[in-house]
Amino acid sequence: MDSAVTPTTKSLLDRRDAVLGPNMSTFYEDPVHLVKGAGVWLWDADGKKYLDCYNNVPHVGHCHPHVVDAIAKQAATLNTHTRYLHEGILDYTERLTATFDDPLNTALLCCTGSEANDVALRMAEAVTGKTGIIATDHTYHGNTSTVSQLSTTNTPKLGQSNHIRFVPTPDSYRPASNDPAQFFADQVSAKIAELQASEHGFAALILCPFFGNEGFPDLPAGFLDATLKAVHAAGGILIADEVQPGFGRLGSHFWGHQFQGITPDVVTLGKPMGNGHPVAGVVTSADIMHEFRTAFRYFNTFGGNPVSCAAAMAVMDVIESEGLMTRAADVGAYAKDAMQSLANKHEIIGDVRGKGMFFGAELVTDRATKTPATDYILRVIEELRNRGILLNKIGVHYNTLKIRPNLQFNRENTDQLIETLDAVLTDIQP
């Protein structure tokens, strides 16, 4: 691998190994050495320009001037914590909670999506008095000791704690049932019963309402209705992890759970919230917040500080003033059509899926058997990188192109993506 990289890259990799330790993951065989970002663009140290079709953290565009200005101004004015009074956190959380349906009217701010999910699990414990959690078998919700246990791909050394149960990820391309909604609800109900029979009891189901890491399957309207009913009937709560689909990314709705037509009990927020500034949060009802804050003492030093709130407020400003949710809907539909056209040309594309600025295509070596083109997709991603397109893979079989650009992505960008992908699929033989 090292032979393929420049001396500068080699030197950076060596320094990483020495001071950051081994196994620090990078993207690509020849990792990209970035120096600049603006809008949908990234530049490397050699001046090469990349179309960023992947990174959702810079939600309103890399280095958006309105967000940068808000951070710079507030950082120069005051940055302290919530044990003093400040309008910033109030103005922001009032604006944020106004985007949710009743009774999701209160918010807690922290720094990372991991911290948000860590809090959400304690909210479930506070409300139910139980600790058993259900997640899908191909998800990821964060990196704290507790939250990292929710991922089957991230098993702790001493084994998975047995208060976690996993249900099969919904797969619209290879459906397990003719009634996927009822099938999923039945799977959840079975795990609820298991937990209720255990010492842990059942506290919560946590899921991404867009099933982003699971490969964003096409699900029928009302997919989660029966599941939510089962969760509530068992005295548990539903936690919706909106770190990926939230803040207008899906185009039609501001939140993924609104697209699903459900109101969860707790919603967690992260990555895009501050356009890269570390701010995250949990939104829930006044009752659940009260239960949590009564059961647990919680203070987060950096959480909700004036600079974090200024960054997050500026992100909301830009989404609204630049009409980015509408753009996500428009460009997303355009991109999905274009990807479908590509599927008509390239046999390797087995399924086109997604919504708004979160879409992709599942690559298969054979459309009849739907055999995942897991090795092939790696070569495609590497070659796209060489041709100036950054994206990645996802899904249960890691054979789905994950295209999740920031909301500045437009039709022209889409054309460049699709044309380059067309050329790569033509040039790289399976």
Which residues from 394-423 bind a copy of itself, rule CB under 8 A?
A: none
CB of 344 to a copy of itself, least distance (A): 33
Residue 112 in the binding site for a copy of itself (CB under 8 A): yes
| Nearer to a copy of itself (CB atom), residue 122 or residue 397 | 122
Give buried/exposed letters for 58-85 (b at 16+ CB in 10 A, else e): bbbbbebebbeebbeebeeeeeeebeee
Q: 98 is written with which tokens?
A: 């106004």
Q: Is 378 in the site for a copy of itself (CB under 8 A)?
A: no
Contact in structure between 227 and 188 (CB atoms under 8 Å): yes
Q: Which listed range, 149-157, 177-185, 212-220, 255-263, lies at the site for a copy of itself (CB under 8 A)?
A: 149-157
Residue 424 found at the interface with a copy of itself (CB under 8 A): no
Tokens of 48: 């090469």
By rule CB under 8 A, what count of residues binds a copy of itself?
102
User: Which of 2, 4, 48, 80 is close enough to bind a copy of itself by CB under 8 A?
Assistant: 80
The mark string for 235-274 relative to a copy of itself (x by CB under 8 A, - otherwise) is -----------------------------------xx---
Give the Cα separation of 166 and 162 in Å (integer). 11
Structure tokens, 364: 């298969």
Residues 6+ apart with CB under 8 A from 110: 116, 119, 280, 281, 282, 300, 303, 304
Closest distance of CB 27 from a copy of itself, Å: 5
Q: Which of 51, 59, 61, 106 binds a copy of itself (CB under 8 A)?
A: 106
Residues 113/283, Cβ–Cβ less than 8 Å: no
Pick 153 or 429: Cβ nearer a copy of itself: 153
User: 3-state class of 49 per DSSP?
Assistant: strand
Nearest Cα neighbor of 279 from 408, 39, 37, 108 is 108
Min dist. Cβ of residue 28 to a copy of itself (A): 9
Cβ neighbours of residue 201 closer than 8 Å, sequence gap 6 or more: 128, 129, 130, 131, 132, 195
Residues 6+ apart with CB under 8 A from 362: 173, 215, 349, 350, 351, 353, 372, 395, 397, 399, 400, 401
Contact 145, 174 (CB under 8 A): no
Among residues 72, 422, 85, 57, the alpha carbon closest in space to that of 269 is found at: 57
In the complex, least distance from residue 288 CB atom to a copy of itself, rounded to whole angstroms: 9
Binder among 39, 66, 105, 379 for a copy of itself (CB under 8 A): 105
How near is the Cβ of 399 to a copy of itself at its closest, in Å? 20
Contact positions with a copy of itself (CB under 8 A) in 115-144: 115, 118, 121-122, 125-126, 129, 131, 143-144
The smaller minimum CB distance to a copy of itself, of residues 132 and 180, is found at 132
Question: 80 vs 177, which CB is nearer to a copy of itself?
Answer: 80
Within positions 155 to 174, which residues make up the interface with a copy of itself, using CB under 8 A? 156-158
Closest approach, Cβ 331 to a copy of itself, in A, equals 22
Residue 91 is encoded by which pair of tokens?
């103005």
- CA–CA distance, 24 with 32 (Å, rounded to integer): 14
74-82, 252-260, 339-347, 350-358 -> range binding a copy of itself (CB under 8 A): 74-82
Q: Which of 268, 305, 408, 413 binds a copy of itself (CB under 8 A)?
A: 305
Nearest to 381 by CA among 425, 426, 335, 332: 425
Tell me the window of 9-17, 185-193, 225-233, 331-339 that interacts with a copy of itself (CB under 8 A): 9-17
- Closer Cβ to a copy of itself, 271 or 353, answer by number: 271
Q: Rule CB under 8 A: is residue 277 a binding residue for a copy of itself?
A: yes
Q: Indicate which single residue of 236, 248, 256, 276 sits in contact with a copy of itself (rule: CB under 8 A).
A: 276
Per DSSP bridges, beta strands 400-402 and 392-394 are: antiparallel
Q: Please report, as residue ranges, which positions from 16 to 45 form the binding site for a copy of itself (by CB under 8 A).
A: 16, 18-27, 31-37, 42
* Cα dist from 87 to 94, 100, 152, 226, 309, whole Å: 11, 21, 41, 41, 9
13 touches a copy of itself by CB under 8 A = yes
